[in-house]
Amino acid sequence: DNSHSKLGLGDARKRELKVMTPSQVSETWDPTELLWKKVFFTQVFVSHKHSAAINNIGHLYTWGDNSAAQLGHGDRQSRTFPTPVGKLTNVKTVSLGLRHSAAIDDRRHLFTWGDCGE
């Protein structure tokens, strides 16, 4: 189910058939620019409507539904491919809820955003 672009395939088209084999995240998102820097994803997190990944140098990327600002980009625009969350560095782990996200950095600081029940 690619509703809300949570698969990161570059679109939000609902598919009649499930994506049964691994697919490149997005044809418009070119990871080769990161390869020469030896940067790659080490962890992936998936929620009902959005997804996140941490790369090997601790940068967080998010994509999918952003109706509650749960992607952390300072707006409510959904993303169809992995997009860096610019304000967080040295991220160690992430947790995704239905309409919110949380991250812990290397100093054990907790960050939350999205619909956090305010």
Q: What is the pLDDT of residues 48-72, one digit of tens each?
A: 999 999 999 999 999 999 999 999 9
Average pLDDT of the chain, as a whole number:
81
Q: Give the residue numbers spanning the domain of 99.
A: 3-114
Question: How many structural domains is the chain composed of?
Answer: 1
Q: What is the pLDDT of residues 67-98, one digit of tens each?
A: 999 999 999 999 988 899 988 999 999 999 99
Q: What is the pTM of this model?
A: 0.74
Contact 58, 90 (CB under 8 A): yes
Q: Is 90 exposed, middle or buried (0-12, 13-18, 19+ CB in 10 A)?
A: middle
